[in-house]
Every structure is written in C-alpha cells, then in structure tokens.
Structure 1
Amino acid sequence: MSALDMPDPAKAVPAGEDNWLLYDGDCPFCSRYVALVRIRDAVGPLRLINAREGGPEFDEVMAKGLDLDGGMVLKLSGQFYHGQDSIHALALLSAATGPISRFNGWVFRSRTRAAVLYPVLRAGRNMTLRLLGRKRIRPE
C-alpha cells in the first residue's frame, strides 16, 4: 500500500485501540523525538516501545517485513505506518504546543515535505549510530 492509499490517521481513531510506536531506543534522535511528540487526547494512550527490547510488537513488525532501521513504526487503529508515513501520521495527531512541536507539525504534516526530508533524517540517524558504535536493529 502506498502512502497515498493509507487512511488519514487524524480521522476517527476509535477509543480503546492498542496504539503504539516502535522506535530505536539507541538512537538519540529517535528517543528525543518520541519524548517530544504530544499526541492529541482524541487518540488515547500511545505506548512508546523500544525496538531494541524486542517483544510481541517487534515480532509483529518483523512478520510484516518492515525495516526498523529504515524507520519507526506506528500502529494506530490496526493500521501500520512506517518511516516517513509514521512521522507524517504523528505530525497530524500531535498537539502544536511549543515552538518545536509547531515546527515539527509544519514540516511533517505535508506528505511532500515528509517524503523529501525523511531520507535525510534517516541518513543522519544511521551515520550517528555508526559514529556512536551502535549496531543496527537487524544486523545483515
């Protein structure tokens, strides 16, 4: 399914869904990003899960063939959003409080800006992990 075919995450998120975000806890950028994202109350609780700790969510993502070194995964109302789509969805769902949140919202609420900027962010993440001596989530 392409990003254009994905449902709009900002529309009708049923209460009581098990929504979560699987991210790289060893990545300083990823960890800081998930700490800063403030999801609107309408979405309900969003569990933040470090992919490096494994677990059923990690196994579910691996079974779907999604590359966690290529981007974090958001599961929202049973729908999976990966990489630039997860950042875009989070921007649509985030409250714009504070300058960083407003900037994040402005940048990533646009699918086009997310598609252009996400590969740059991913490359920066990969380079930083190499410089810090940290391994990939799924070594080749």
Structure 2
Amino acid sequence: MNEPATPALIVYDGDCIFCQSYVRFMRLRETIGGVELLDARSGDPRIAGFQKQGFDLNEGMLFVFEDRIYHGDEAVNLLAILSSSSSLFGRINRALLSNGTAARLIYPLLKLGRRATLRLRGRPLIPADLDPRPDGW
C-alpha cells in the first residue's frame, strides 16, 4: 500500500492509561502506513489549533486521515475499520467499534472510564485553551 503524503495523526490524552494503551495496540501502520501519535498534553501548537476549530479533547480523541478530522466516536469507528485484525486486540476492537451505531453507544462509556481513571490518578482534564503563546496572540 502506498503511504499517503501526509501521515495520519491520532491526538490522544497521554495521561489516560486507557488512551495510551489503545493507541499503542492499534496496528494502523500495517494497513495505512505512516501514523503520528500526538499527546494532547504535549504543548504542540497543533493542539491549540484543533481547540480553536471547536474540538473538545476531553470529549474525544481526534483522528486526522486524508485531510479530514474525525472526533470521538467517529474517530474510534474509523480507527477500528482501518486497523489490522492480526492481533486479538485488533479483532475485538474491530468487532466492537467498526459499526458506527455501536461506536456511538460505546464511546460515552469509554469517556466515562477515562474521566474516572484520571480522577483516581489525581490528573486534571485537558485544559480548554492550550494556546502556547502567553499573550494569546
């Protein structure tokens, strides 16, 4: 398969152990080629850009693929469809989340698990404005 000119991008919460595990076990490189993982807490200026576009990173991860941004349940749905099913995780992920309706129903439970885990670990939610410029300009 030819790699796209721009690698796919997954924006996830690096303080969430479930999010870390999910992106670690995704085997997208086998099916779509280049994939960049970006921790939403990293300070990367693209994060502030996504927030300015209206994406709430506490409400869902982002998957940028072929110049389109997928958020939350749409992101995990497409990730499940595109990911390799060569592992047990891949087969389970695909079985549960490759159906759009199932992804919409399951995703709120995934968000709840993330929030509960962050709270138990004493970690805050992702700040709503991660503009790296101190003056906001």
User: How far is 1:16 from its partner?
Assistant: 1.1
For the aligned residues, what is the CA RMSD? 1.7
Q: Look up the match of 1:80.
A: 69
Q: Equivalent pairs: percent with the same residue?
A: 35
Give the distance between the partners of 1:62 and 1:118, measured in 2 at CA: 20
TM-score, with structure 2 as normaliser: 0.87
Q: Look up the match of 1:63.
A: 52
What are the ranges of 5 or more consecutive residues in structure 1 without an aligned counterpart?
1-12
Q: Look up the match of 1:52.
A: 41
TM-score, with structure 1 as normaliser: 0.85
User: How far is 1:19 from its partner?
Assistant: 1.8
Letter in 1 for 2:83: S
Q: Deviations over 1:56-77 (max 9, x none)?
A: 3212211211010111101111
What are the ranges of 5 or more consecutive residues in structure 2 without an aligned counterpart?
130-137
Number of residue pairs matched by the alignment: 128
How do residues 1-140 of structure 1 correspond to structure 2 at under 5 angstroms?
15-39=4-28, 41-138=30-127
Give the distance between the partners of 2:4 and 2:128, measured in 1 at CA: 37
User: How far is 1:99 from its partner?
Assistant: 1.3
Larger radius of gyration: 2
Contact 1:40 1:93 in 2 (8 A): no
User: How far is 1:54 from its partner?
Assistant: 1.9
User: How far is 1:14 from its partner?
Assistant: 7.0
| DSSP 3-state at the match of 1:53 | coil
Which stretch of structure 1 is more off in the superposition, 71-80 or 38-47?
38-47
Kindly report structure 1 stretches of 4+ aligned residues shifted beyond 3 Å: none
